Structure 1
Amino acid sequence: MSTIGLIGGMSWESTAVYYRLLNERVRALRGGLHSADVLLHSLDFAPIAEMQASGDWATAGHLLADSAIRLERAGVNCILLCTNTMHKLADRITAATRVPFLHLADVTATAIRKSPSRRPLLLATRFTMEQAFYRERLAAFGVEAMVPDAEQRDDVHRIIYEELCRGRIEPASKARYLDIVAAAVRQGADGVILGCTEITLLVSQADFDIPVFDTTALHVEAALNFGLEAASQAA
């Protein structure tokens, strides 16, 4: 199987989910003691979170491009950026490297198109919900992502950064997320995009009667499919 390059650490809580899912899926596919062939560069999230808050995306983009270059030089066959929000800077990575980059929004949109959902609610950081980079990428596939109202967005964002990124799982926060989704369903939402990896620590498909799109699981599956296809072509 091909070597998967991961740009992680944003936060490390979510990167741990990527690593676990990759290895669980490889074990399910190949059995025995098989595990994923992975190279991970885990960045320090604190300065990057400060760049996000201050709008210094240029410096953050430089850090991600440098990370991708290091992975490419190390011999990875594809690159995954283990964070939805930082896909705002995906073009910095693709401009700096030649190795295939698997875009999280494209993978998610493809899965949505295979489902009955066309107006899913996007739960994510404030940057992902309010800025156009992610929703426009989904729209290119015919997916009209809804977002919560301003007060709800504040709560979704706060819970991610102040709780989930710090390993805190609070029942009250889960209840708040469920209320936000219920309100969106009343307004026509027909699915839920878990558009921040840490959100999967709090809610899942088991909590909803409408389709849930776990971007992390979808990203992992796309990477493994890419790796298996590349390996078969090389054989």
Structure 2
Amino acid sequence: MHKLGLIGGLSWTSTARYYEIINKAVHRAKGGQHSAPLVIESLDFAEVARCATDDDWDCAARQLIEAAVRLEKAGAGALLICANSMHRVYERVQESVRIPVLHIAEQVGRKMQADGIEKAALIGTRNVMTEKFYRQRLVGHGVSLLPPDMDLAERIDAIVYDELTVGKVSRESERYMKSELTDIAKQDVQAVVLACTELELIVDVSANVLPIYDCTHIHAMAGVDYILG
């Protein structure tokens, strides 16, 4: 098996989910006592989030680049950035290392294209929903996206940064997301892209009217494909 590197701590709750998905999939594939060969850089999310909040993306990029370089030196043959929002600095991270960094939106876009999805709603934190760095990757795979719902984006920001990144799961937020997904299903779309690695904590991806493309799971499984070669 090939060694995979994870840039995590963005937040630790979603990184734990990556670790679980990857190891369970490797065990299913290999059986016995097998688990995934991983190296993990778990960053202090408070420091990274402070940069992003202040729109100091140079500061955020520097921390991710330093982590990527350390992971490459530790023997990783490919990397995952375990957060949708931090793909805002993806190109700079990729340029800093000689190994591939698997882009989360590229993996999601390929799967949607293979499934014949042409119209979808993108939900996540504000920068993912509104900025072109993420949306253009999906559009490049033939997926037309609804315009961003700014009220939804602001509420998701509050849920993610005030609750989910510190491990808090509330019934109120679960009900809110279920209601929003029900409303989205009434629109002219074929699927929903769950483009926040923490939202899986409060969204049942298998119990909705529309198919939900869970970016965390899709991205982690791309890492599994690399590991198994």
Q: TM (normalized to structure 2)?
A: 0.96
Q: Deviations over 1:88-140 (max 9, x none)?
A: 10011111001111111100001111224222221211111111110011111
Q: Deviations over 1:42-93 (max 9, x none)?
A: 0000011111111000111111111101111111110010000000100111
Does the aligned pair in 2 maintain the 1:88–1:133 contact within 8 Å?
yes
3-state DSSP of counterpart to 2:41 = strand
Does the aligned pair in 2 maintain the 1:123–1:147 contact within 8 Å?
no
- Distance verdict in 2 for CA 1:159–1:147, change over 3 Å: farther
Q: Show the counterpart of 1:224.
A: 224
Runs of 4+ aligned residues of structure 1 deviating over 3 Å after TM superposition are none
CA RMSD of aligned residues (A): 1.2
Does the aligned pair in 2 maintain the 1:6–1:38 contact within 8 Å?
yes
Instruction: Return the alpha-carbon distance in structure 1 between the equivalents of residues 149 and 194 of structure 2.
Output: 16
Between the two proteins, the alignment pairs up a number of residues equal to 229
Question: 1:1-235 counterparts in 2 under 5 A?
Answer: 1-229=1-229
Does the aligned pair in 2 maintain the 1:148–1:180 contact within 8 Å?
no
Q: Show the counterpart of 1:232.
A: none
- Distance verdict in 2 for CA 1:215–1:178, change over 3 Å: same
Q: CA deviation at 1:12?
A: 0.3
Instruction: Name stretches of at least 5 consecutive residues in structure 2 with no aligned partner.
Output: none
3-state DSSP of counterpart to 1:120 = strand
Does the aligned pair in 2 maintain the 1:135–1:144 contact within 8 Å?
no
Instruction: Return the alpha-carbon distance in structure 1 between the equivalents of residues 118 and 175 of structure 2.
Output: 25
Instruction: Return the alpha-carbon distance in structure 2 between the equivalents of residues 151 and 180 of structure 1.
Output: 11
Instruction: Return the alpha-carbon distance in structure 1 between the equivalents of residues 59 and 155 of structure 2.
Output: 27
3-state DSSP of counterpart to 1:197 = coil
Does the aligned pair in 2 maintain the 1:121–1:184 contact within 8 Å?
yes
Does the aligned pair in 1 maintain the 2:185–2:209 contact within 8 Å?
no
Does the aligned pair in 2 maintain the 1:204–1:212 contact within 8 Å?
no
My pick for the range that moved more, 97-106 or 147-156, is 147-156
Q: Deviations over 1:167-207 (max 9, x none)?
A: 11111111111222222222212211111110011113222
Instruction: Return the alpha-carbon distance in structure 1 between the equivalents of residues 227 and 3 of structure 2.
Output: 7
3-state DSSP of counterpart to 2:80 = strand
Q: Name the aligned partner's letter for residue 91 of structure 1.
A: E
Identical pairs, percent: 35
3-state DSSP of counterpart to 2:144 = coil
Does the aligned pair in 1 maintain the 2:128–2:134 contact within 8 Å?
yes
My pick for the range that moved more, 180-189 or 69-78, is 180-189
Does the aligned pair in 1 maintain the 2:125–2:196 contact within 8 Å?
yes
Instruction: Return the alpha-carbon distance in structure 1 between the equivalents of residues 168 and 65 of structure 2.
Output: 30
Q: CA deviation at 1:11?
A: 0.5
Instruction: Return the alpha-carbon distance in structure 2 between the equivalents of residues 184 and 197 of structure 1.
Output: 20
Instruction: Name stretches of at least 5 consecutive residues in structure 1 with no aligned partner.
Output: 230-235
